[in-house]
A = this chain, B = another copy of it.
């Protein structure tokens, strides 16, 4: 809607090559150079120059070569168009210096474009991170001297009052701030742990602002109320903005991005309004304390930024080429979401992208790296590690621990399946009931309930990312949380950790965590799919981390209490701690995320980039594998594929194997006893064709030799016939309803009557055909790999029917015992 104006509204098609002009002059009358195109009589050069295999540069008919909204693109045609353009530029290059510069710009534009996308993605991600962190803290209190600081920054400024430059430049982290103050030593000496308690005097909770004390029942109630009020305010703002300005900004966007990348047009989905509203709405909805993450929407935001490819005609005017940039942008989105450039590229490759040539791999990597580099430079979280949840454990994992890890994988798969099934049911209910008409009310209701339940439990009250980090981390000397309430005495932070029984704090924490797990699971089911920007990477990781930590503590205490058991006796008899509950949390997190999204390699790489835990690839992999298998066994689809199916998008998954035995003849339209709507090459009048177009609703028509001998000549699109006829009526004298429409080059003798309308230029003379005996698995393979929109079915050269992408999708649904009518678009 928005981006389409810039990106494709223009009709300035590329000038065609000189020697092609003879065919691009539209009507039969001005046709100054008619050649016979039958193979036997032609030489190669005229052959090519006249019709480049049915791909025509038709500069004279506006709108030809474009797509309508909610339509599937034709990859082969777009890629061929791009090569044509490329050749034109190469040819022009020798003409002038200006053309040479244009040629160089064209060659570089791919790299330039991904560079720009990377830069912008990094900056936008930085802004979102800073905004979300400030507004999240705003629910609890304010920094009265500098309201634009979040709690952590506020506390810094209070502790090192000598370096108050931090106030003037609040985006600097502590290290940079110190450098700014020109005292290099300050940064290295002060430990991060000093800020853990967070009770610095500069930061005021809302109860303090209102004159109450920091503790006590009154303060609690005031804080509670402020928390709920802020949450409501943020959520209301977010939902209203989305509703009013950019309806496409809701949700995580990954299902739609997958569909768009597979070659579908949804206008405005990547427009600039979607970008702005999604960014602002994301900050608001994250701050509202809803059970959602900002990582999925970051992919959508990055793809919106990827849409600046309209600045480069090479990409902006070619839907297939544009998708190369979007693939790179998706990689950059994951890269900034998790600080994981390699994981981002693999995510783009494995999960989102469809057409991923190797050139795109390299560019995606570049784009992801630039984005991560920029984000690290901005350093919104102010920590020195480039990874989000940096953890370091003292002990490596032990071989027998693979058993609980695989167990965690199974638990993760089960949790994920419960989540997917319940969420889908709720989304379907929302879609078909009255609830769908009140999105803002729904958001407010969920926000109030979430806030009411979340606040009393410290683990749900805190930011989800913080909770994950807490669960991942090892109990060290600096960790004062209940979770680390073991009966041990620390003397030295560097000594090995003593083997100790859990104290009462740990048991209390476990109960609270179980409550948090249930609450988060239920709230995420209701939250994902609401009309606010919301992702589910972080909630999934959190669910898994909670489950994992609980299992980890259980294992630890088991090993402590039965150290002589054969399982533990090997490694756990030395008096030192041999089991790290934090590692279990990490593995659990990977398991649930893997079960929900069905990611595999990219998941493991993201987790390893996220935590810096190179040594833990094997446990992560074991859990991810177990979780995926359990998930696949319990329910076929990941959450994204399920949402694609729910919305009826025409997405042909390249991961599903087509395991049925049907033939092309079983799938093609028309079915027996119906006749196929065809156009003949030289015996139908304009009126005949217009009547056919009125009677039928197909997107395109095969052109055959004659009604009697239906040998296939080519394929022509409804849209282009309409445009061409309208154009001819406007520009050529004498064209009327009785004009014969001619798709060949051999000019039939001009009898009396109106002039012929020559439409060979819009005829695709190289349609992909198959025989009726072709197994459907081959057909599906061709649709996927060649990016087809339709294919023509023949038998002994005779045309029998057509198979469109929609037919394939419906057939797959039917064989899977699903409703074939849920495929909505073509």
Contact = CB atoms under 8 A, between A and B. Distances in A.
Given A774-B53, A797-B794, A361 B350 contact: yes
Interface residues on A, range: 35 or more
Contacts of A79: 777, 781
B785 A711 contact: no
A369 B621 CA distance: 10
A344 to B, nearest CB: 12
B711 A618 contact: no
A501 interface: no
Contacts of A39: 665, 772, 795, 800
A404 interface: no
Copies of this chain present: 2
A83 interface: yes
Given A601-B365, A666-B44, A782-B786, A53 B775 contact: yes
B621 A705 contact: no
A659 B86 contact: yes
Interface-central residue, A48, A785, A797, by most chain B CB under 10 Å: A797
Interface in A38-76: 38-40, 42, 44, 47-48, 51-55, 76
A53 B797 CA distance: 16
Interface in A791-811: 794-800
Contacts of A53: 663-664, 773-775, 778
Contact of A663 (B47, B361, B713): B47
A358 B86 CA distance: 31
Contacts of A794: 769, 797
Contact of A83 (B80, B373, B614, B777): B777
Given A663-B53, A711-B797, A796-B712, A361 B601 contact: yes
Given A711-B796, A771-B766, A659 B618 contact: no
A117 interface: no
Interface string A284-319: 000000000000000000000000000000000000
A654 interface: yes
A101 to B, nearest CB: 18
A83 B766 contact: no
A655 interface: yes
Interface string A579-612: 0000000000000000000001100110000000
Interface in A656-677: 657, 659, 661-666, 672
Contacts of A373: 618
A661 B361 contact: no
Contact of A604 (B357, B365, B705): B365
B798 A76 contact: no
A87 interface: yes
A449 interface: no
Given A53-B774, A365-B601, A796-B705, A83 B659 contact: yes
B361 A600 contact: yes
22 contacts: A48-B661, A51-B773, A52-B663, A53-B663, A53-B775, A54-B774, A83-B657, A86-B659, A87-B659, A345-B601, A350-B358, A365-B604, A369-B621, A373-B618, A714-B771, A765-B773, A769-B769, A781-B786, A782-B786, A796-B797, A797-B797, A797-B799
Given A369-B621, A712-B796, A766-B778, 9 more contacts: A39-B800, A53-B664, A54-B773, A87-B659, A341-B617, A358-B654, A361-B601, A366-B621, A797-B798
Interface of A: 38-40, 42, 44, 47-48, 51-55, 76, 79-80, 83, 86-87, 341-342, 345, 350, 357-359, 361-362, 365-366, 369, 373, 386, 600-601, 604-605, 614, 617-618, 621, 625, 654-655, 657, 659, 661-666, 672, 705, 711-714, 765-775, 777-778, 781-782, 785-786, 794-800
